[in-house]
A and B are shown apart, each in its own frame.
Chain A
Amino acid sequence: MAIVEAVLLGVLLGLVYATLSVGFSLIWGTLDVIHVSHGAFAILAAYLAYTANESLGIDPVLALLGIVPLFFGLGVGLYELLFRPLAERAQEVAFVSLVLTFGLAIALENLLVVQFSADPRVLQTGYTREVVDVAGVPLTTGRLVGAGLAVLTLVMVYLFLKRTYTGRAVLAVAQNDQGAALSGINERRVSAITFGVGLATVAIAGVATVMFWSFSPSEHIHWMVFVFIVTILGGVGSVVGATTAGLITGLISELSALVVPFVWVDFILFGLLVGLLLVKPEGLFQQ
């Protein structure tokens, strides 16, 4: 029973990790932007959903109908205002973007503290605390809904990239931006859309994540640890990689606790990451 529980919990957790990471991975892989404020935007989305729930009585999942388009627009705007000029001027876009978005993350965190206070919050609806029995393991409906959001997001992003013209254009830019431009792809438009999609996915991830954990403005730093692990493990720019690495991370976190002292779980996780990078430095599914 302990193994079944660990597997189920690991899968649910892994899906959340994957959804938190997929947008980050996409942005990094396509635009060479290391978006360290990714987690802060997830927290922002969580606060918006929390506020909609507490103040307006709008279910957080329904609130996403407004939050996701907002974040997509925000992503496009950020790309045009910040990252496109950066890409045109900086020689080392990745490094500069890392520093820039770190500052953006801190600024956003402080903005959230001013607006919402630093008090930790717990997202609760009429169903988040209901417990259902899945193969003999008690799981809350909140976690199942969060995992469901995660699955939907990962599938939609995958289908977008593989089955739509714009999505395939995103992949083309990620592989060779100059080649893509020569093929008639509007690289600027595609890049803006990529950033928008990245932020749209993190909005969903933010709501999904707080179905599992409490949150506060400073929590984004913790979330980014998992985002980096999953992205590097899965391979930058790969949706399948992010999904697989997320699940691996979640399963290792839960299963290893059955055989080693819990405090060693992170050691095992990072050990695996280092070991993998030595063998396959590009990650499992590098595009």
Chain B
Amino acid sequence: MAEPNKQSGKARRRRRTVLKTSGLAATGFLAGCLGSGDGGTLTLGGTLPLSGAYADTAVFIEDAYRQWEQDVNDDGGLLGQEVEVIIEDDQSEPAEGVSKLNRLISQEGVDLLIGGYPGSTAAGQMQSADENNMVYVSMGGHMKSFEQGFEYVFGAPPLMGQWWYDGFFNWLEQQPESEWPTSAAAITVDNPVGQAVYESVTENLDRLGIPFDMDERYNLPLDSAQGLVSSAESEGSEIFFANGFFGDGVQTIQAIHDTGYEPKAVLQGIGTLTPAWEAELGELGDYVVSGTSMHPDLPFEGIDRLNEIAEEEYNRGTTSEYFLFGYSWMQTLQQGVEGAGELDQGMIRDWLRNNCVETVGGEYCFDDRGLPDPIEYVTQVRDGVARLVGPEDVATHEMAYPWYEQF
């Protein structure tokens, strides 16, 4: 069972922040009129799904924002001023996230913006931020959101479905061609996330000349995966893509085991990196491959410290990817502000466009779209934990292949 999210240290900080936020809200308009930098506190505002469908993973991002806030203030603040992170609950509704962000910008007058989650909310907020000429660092909403001509948005890292399986296929390409799967089956959730991940499938299959046997879309909820899996099995598909979320992924993985289907590889869209995959599936979810833009085993500065903090303060074995995402976005924003030397959004934007940043996720150098170079980490679940299996310079485990020989 997942650990309850009740930590005394976090509760104290939350109470303190609520009190501060209440006071701040009461004088927020006045503070905004005074202009940035004149008061003693810099306000960073944004939204997260603290309730609703995405609350289970957003809580890690909230923890990251609070941790960053504490770290920066302990280190003397940002531009010599204490930072105050204001997080409003968008209830997992993108429209609510956009509305609240607009309010934070126009009425609360926050000095800086923090990234939202998930991608559907972030995509909407990217537009708001850009329209208000404010820098916005987040996961984005896959490739389409970064190709809108926005000037003020950055993914550091982005969560990019279009890159999702690149690392796995790069690894596969290094293997003898006789070991490649001869055909593929894919089931894809019919929404922007599924579509983004699906593009990674089709591009790479085309590149390697692997044809589809089965290619199905589905709407949530997926009431039964067994028929689809049986269909893939009867076609003899040697690689199976489950381009969906946790719930449908669980069904699919269970159905693969139940039917005795033996593909060479099983790849899952979203879900293997959430704590619930580990906690609820156990061995059943082992050897499933996925992609990621972030991982607690990456060899970059700061990750070990955050892992220690995760264990001591948040009672988790290692910090989650979502925590690291949030922390990396804040580090990026921080370096942009420090690099610019002031709170001018245009100068922060220009500094980020022309310089690279170093975060717990590594080095990011941004192109005109606000994207770093493609991130091609590969994970594979081992004993319930998603481990890094590629690329070689970051891998902590070797890829176990083919899938069916592992059981």
Which residue of A55, A120, A131, A222 contacts B276 across the interface (Cβ within 8 Å)?
A120
B190 touches A214 (CB 8 A): no
Please tell me if A189 contacts chain B, counting CB pairs below 8 Å.
Answer: no
Please tell me if B392 contacts chain A, counting CB pairs below 8 Å.
Answer: no
Which residue of A139, A214, A226 contacts B247 across the interface (Cβ within 8 Å)?
A214
8 Å CB interface, B217-240 against A: 217-221, 223-224, 226-228, 230-231, 234
Q: Which residues of B contact A226 (CB under 8 A)?
A: 223
Q: Which residues of B contact A110 (CB under 8 A)?
A: 51
Please tell me if B258 contacts chain A, counting CB pairs below 8 Å.
Answer: yes
8 Å CB interface, A247-280 against B: 253-254, 257-258, 261-263, 265-266
**Chain B nearest Cβ from A138, distance in angstroms:** 5
Interchain Cβ contacts within 8 Å, total number: 108
B254 touches A129 (CB 8 A): yes
Known contacts A122-B281, A214-B247; is-contact A262 B53 (Cβ 8 Å) = no
Please tell me if A65 contacts chain B, counting CB pairs below 8 Å.
Answer: no
A214 touches B251 (CB 8 A): yes
A218 touches B53 (CB 8 A): yes
Please tell me if B46 contacts chain A, counting CB pairs below 8 Å.
Answer: no
**CA A219 to CA B245, docked complex, whole Å:** 13
Please tell me if A287 contacts chain B, counting CB pairs below 8 Å.
Answer: no
Which residue of A121, A213, A265 contacts B251 across the interface (Cβ within 8 Å)?
A213
Which residue of B52, B230, B247, B280 contacts A213 across the interface (Cβ within 8 Å)?
B247
Which residue of A117, A218, A263 contacts B217 across the interface (Cβ within 8 Å)?
A263
A263 touches B216 (CB 8 A): yes
Please tell me if B27 contacts chain A, counting CB pairs below 8 Å.
Answer: no
Please tell me if A5 contacts chain B, counting CB pairs below 8 Å.
Answer: yes
**Chain B nearest Cβ from A108, distance in angstroms:** 13
Bits for A5-47, please: 1 = Cβ < 8 Å to B, else 0.
Answer: 1100100010000000000000000000000000000000000
Which residue of B55, B223, B234, B251 contacts A113 across the interface (Cβ within 8 Å)?
B55
Q: Which residues of A contact B54 (CB under 8 A)?
A: 118
Please tell me if A140 contacts chain B, counting CB pairs below 8 Å.
Answer: yes
**Chain A nearest Cβ from B135, distance in angstroms:** 30
B280 touches A120 (CB 8 A): yes
**Chain B nearest Cβ from A43, distance in angstroms:** 13
Q: Which residues of A contact B51 (CB under 8 A)?
A: 110, 113, 118
Q: Which residues of B contact A6 (CB under 8 A)?
A: 227
A263 touches B219 (CB 8 A): yes
Please tell me if B141 contacts chain A, counting CB pairs below 8 Å.
Answer: no
Q: Which residues of B contact A253 (CB under 8 A)?
A: 223-224
Which residue of A54, A118, A122, A266 contacts B56 across the interface (Cβ within 8 Å)?
A118
8 Å CB interface, A82-103 against B: none
The count of chain B contact residues (Cβ–Cβ below 8 Å) is 44
**CA A199 to CA B294, docked complex, whole Å:** 44
B246 touches A214 (CB 8 A): yes
**Chain A nearest Cβ from B192, distance in angstroms:** 15
B1 touches A54 (CB 8 A): yes
**Chain A nearest Cβ from B361, distance in angstroms:** 24
**CA A260 to CA B59, docked complex, whole Å:** 40
**CA A17 to CA B217, docked complex, whole Å:** 22
Look across to chain A and name the residue whose beta carbon is closest to the beta carbon of B214. A262
**Chain A nearest Cβ from B191, distance in angstroms:** 11
Please tell me if A216 contacts chain B, counting CB pairs below 8 Å.
Answer: yes
**CA A32 to CA B190, docked complex, whole Å:** 36
B228 touches A13 (CB 8 A): no
Most chain B CB within a 10 A radius of its CB, from A9, A213, A222, A257: A213
Please tell me if A182 contacts chain B, counting CB pairs below 8 Å.
Answer: no
8 Å CB interface, B170-211 against A: 187, 190
A218 touches B228 (CB 8 A): no
Please tell me if A2 contacts chain B, counting CB pairs below 8 Å.
Answer: yes
A263 touches B190 (CB 8 A): yes
Question: What's the interface size class on A, roughly?
Answer: 35 or more
Known contacts A138-B259, A263-B216; is-contact A120 B254 (Cβ 8 Å) = no
Known contacts A120-B56, A261-B217, A263-B218; is-contact A5 B5 (Cβ 8 Å) = no
Look across to chain B and name the residue whose beta carbon is closest to the beta carbon of A215. B247
Known contacts A13-B223, A253-B223, A262-B218; is-contact A2 B231 (Cβ 8 Å) = yes
8 Å CB interface, A116-134 against B: 117-122, 124, 129, 131
Please tell me if B275 contacts chain A, counting CB pairs below 8 Å.
Answer: yes
B279 touches A2 (CB 8 A): no
Which residue of B230, B276, B284 contacts A119 across the interface (Cβ within 8 Å)?
B276
Known contacts A5-B226, A9-B227, A120-B56; is-contact A222 B219 (Cβ 8 Å) = no
B276 touches A121 (CB 8 A): yes
**CA A120 to CA B254, docked complex, whole Å:** 15
**Chain B nearest Cβ from A36, distance in angstroms:** 17
Please tell me if B23 contacts chain A, counting CB pairs below 8 Å.
Answer: no
Please tell me if B250 contacts chain A, counting CB pairs below 8 Å.
Answer: yes
**Chain A nearest Cβ from B357, distance in angstroms:** 31
**Chain A nearest Cβ from B94, distance in angstroms:** 15
**Chain A nearest Cβ from B108, distance in angstroms:** 25
B5 touches A138 (CB 8 A): no
Please tell me if B2 contacts chain A, counting CB pairs below 8 Å.
Answer: yes
Q: Which residues of A contact B217 (CB under 8 A)?
A: 261-263
B52 touches A218 (CB 8 A): yes
B258 touches A131 (CB 8 A): yes
**Chain A nearest Cβ from B260, distance in angstroms:** 7
**CA A2 to CA B247, docked complex, whole Å:** 24
**CA A49 to CA B251, docked complex, whole Å:** 20
Q: Which residues of A contact B224 (CB under 8 A)?
A: 9, 13, 212, 253-254
B227 touches A117 (CB 8 A): no
Look across to chain A and name the residue whose beta carbon is closest to the beta carbon of B261. A138
Not counting A2-B227, A117-B5, A117-B56, a sample of 13 additional A-B residue pairs whose C-beta atoms are within 8 angstroms of each other reads: A2-B231, A5-B226, A5-B227, A9-B227, A110-B51, A118-B55, A120-B280, A122-B281, A129-B257, A131-B258, A218-B53, A219-B221, A262-B187
7 contacts between A and B (CB under 8 A): A5-B226, A5-B227, A13-B223, A13-B224, A131-B257, A253-B223, A262-B218
8 closest Cβ contacts across the A-B interface? A118-B56, A263-B217, A122-B280, A118-B55, A222-B221, A262-B216, A119-B2, A218-B53
Residues of chain A having any CB pair with chain B under 8 Å: 2, 5-6, 9, 13, 54-55, 110, 113, 117-122, 124, 129, 131, 138-140, 212-216, 218-219, 222, 225-226, 253-254, 257-258, 261-263, 265-266
